[in-house]
Amino acid sequence: MDFTLTSDQEALQEAVRKLCEGRFPMERVRALAEVGGVDRDLWREMADAGVFSLRLSEADGGAALGTAEAALVFEVLGRALVPGPLVWTHLAAGLVPGAAEGDRVVGGLQRQEEPFLVEYPDAIDVLLAVDDDGLWEVDRSRLSARPVSWPLDPLTPAHVAGGLLRGERRGVPGDAARWRLDGAVLTGAYLLGMAAALTEMSVAFAKERQQFDKPIGSFQAIKHILADMFVRTEVARAAVYAAAVNLDEPALGPPARAVAGAKLLAGEAATLNAKAATQVHGGMGFTWEVDVHLYLKRAWVLDTTFGTADDHADVVAGLLG
């Protein structure tokens, strides 16, 4: 038992952090809203860095790494708020040709969640659906889709789709169950990174911003909000890392409870931290110019994917006693 990052894991996070700093500064991320959320060249660069393929075997062009490493990568992507159907394309690597290499962008949804909001409709090449019976590739030519002109998150464009037919089978129920677990943990990891970024930007702002001739971070009313943001993030980190490790290590027992707890706590950390960050930033926090709202909106979006907080609390409760 050693629940700290190995030096390889630290190096992996550092490499993806550098990629994000170089390729996804916030002005570039914001600009992606104009192109449907995905820039093909940047998407391929992420693929080249192994974002989609890292869990595939070396024979399949991957790095044969585990869910723990994937979670660490998604944490860094969430920190930078990199848009696009990252989790779905990562899950599809090895199943949908071209996904691992970044040649095809794969989106997806869970079939329960009517009305069907298809994310990144103009960016994706393939749309997958997950339900209790398996994984399915939806024939998009047979979808009736109405574009959302005003999406909640400018970086998550969407269509409202009707007549969602089942499509062609891509996986059995066991595959679907595993995708839900992996998807929940990777989305949780992304939310964890967002929660950490929100804490950092709020702390930096509170050290700079002066009122009453003092940095506002010196006031306990603000300091305690920031302390709670940090604490929430660290609790979510323990949950997400443990769930990812649990998915890699069958000897630790069934992962369902750990995964549900991870998505639940990471989703809460991101949404609560985004709301707290808005408050700490004061009037600026309510402007389009400050990045906080982009994090808040993405947190709300992601809280609806791979199970809501309530869904996951119910899962944990069902496994108690």
Partner 1 sequence: MDLLWTEEDERFRAELRAWIDQALPKLPAATKREDWDARRERDTTWQRMLYDAGYAGINWPADFGGRGAALSEQLVFYEEITTAGAPDVGVNFVGLLHAGPTIIAEAADDQRARHLPAILKGEEVWCQGFSEPSAGSDLASLRTRAVRDGDDYVINGQKIWTSFAQVSDYCELLVRTDPEAPKHTGITWLILPMDTPGVDVRPLRTVIGSSEFSELYLDDVRVPVANRVGAENDGWRVAMVTFSFERGTSLVSEMAEARRQLDELVKVAKVVTRGSATAWDDVGLRREIGHAAAELDALWNMVKRTVSEAARTGVPGVGASVVKLYYTELIQRIGDLALRVLDRASLSLDDVFDHSGHFVEERLRVLALTIAAGSSQIQRNIIGERILGLPR
Long-range contacts from 115-119, C-beta under 8 angstroms, 24+ separation: 115/160, 116/160, 116/161, 116/162, 116/164, 117/148, 117/158, 117/159, 117/160, 117/161, 118/143, 118/145, 118/158, 118/159, 118/160, 118/161, 119/85, 119/156, 119/157, 119/158, 119/301
**In this structure, what token pair is assigned to residue 215?**
């940095």
Q: Of the two residues 104 and 219, which places its CB atom closer to partner 1 in the complex?
A: 219
Q: Which residues bind partner 1 (CB under 8 A)?
A: 1-6, 9, 68, 199, 203, 206-207, 214-215, 217-218, 220, 223-224, 226-228, 230-231, 234-236, 238-239, 241-242, 244-246, 249, 251-252, 257-258, 260-262, 264-265, 309-310, 312-318, 320-321
Q: Of the two residues 143 and 244, which places its CB atom closer to partner 1 in the complex?
A: 244
Q: How near is the Cβ of 270 to partner 1 at its closest, in Å?
A: 15
Asked whether the beta carbons of 79 and 196 are under 8 A apart, the reply is yes
Q: Of the two residues 159 and 237, which places its CB atom closer to partner 1 in the complex?
A: 237
Q: Of the two residues 155 and 280, which places its CB atom closer to partner 1 in the complex?
A: 280
* Alpha carbon distance, N-terminus to C-terminus of the chain: 26
**In this structure, what token pair is assigned to residue 233?**
């993030």
**In this structure, what token pair is assigned to residue 288?**
């389009």
Q: How near is the Cβ of 283 to partner 1 at its closest, in Å?
A: 21
Q: Of the two residues 112 and 144, which places its CB atom closer to partner 1 in the complex?
A: 112
Q: How near is the Cβ of 173 to partner 1 at its closest, in Å?
A: 24
Q: How near is the Cβ of 3 to partner 1 at its closest, in Å?
A: 4
